[in-house]
């Protein structure tokens, strides 16, 4: 098993968890400045991790 593919899957899962956390925060937010900052920070990190993980899994070739 390739280490890059495992790391890509880990990044993808972390990105999905981050995006789900942002959705939960968005539903339970009261609209305060602190809530908006948390949503934007976690959302940006979730998107970056998700895109990086997917791209790492797609571009890594399987070698036997």
pLDDT in tens, the chain (64 residues): 688 889 999 999 999 999 999 999 889 887 777 888 889 999 999 999 999 999 998 888 877 5
- Annotate 41-53 with b (16+ C-beta within 10 A) or e (fewer): ebbebbeebbebb
CA distance 32 to 52: 30
Q: Could you tell me if residue 52 is inside a domain?
A: yes
33 token code pair: 């400045």
Tell me how many domains the chain contains.
1
- State which residues form the domain around 14: 3-59
Alpha helices (H) in 1-64, listed in sequence order: 3-27, 33-59
Q: Could you tell me if residue 32 is inside a domain?
A: yes
Tokens 């305060």 locate to 32
HSE of 41, CA atoms in CB hemisphere, 13 A: 6
Q: Could you tell me if residue 64 is inside a domain?
A: no
């Amino acid at each position: 098993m390739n280490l890059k593919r495992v790391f890509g899957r880990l990044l993808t899962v972390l990105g999905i968890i981050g995006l789900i956390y942002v959705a939960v925060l968005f539903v339970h937010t009261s609209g305060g400045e602190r809530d908006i900052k948390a949503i934007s920070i976690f959302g940006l990190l979730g998107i970056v991790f998700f895109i990086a993980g997917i791209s790492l899994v797609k571009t890594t070739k399987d070698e036997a």
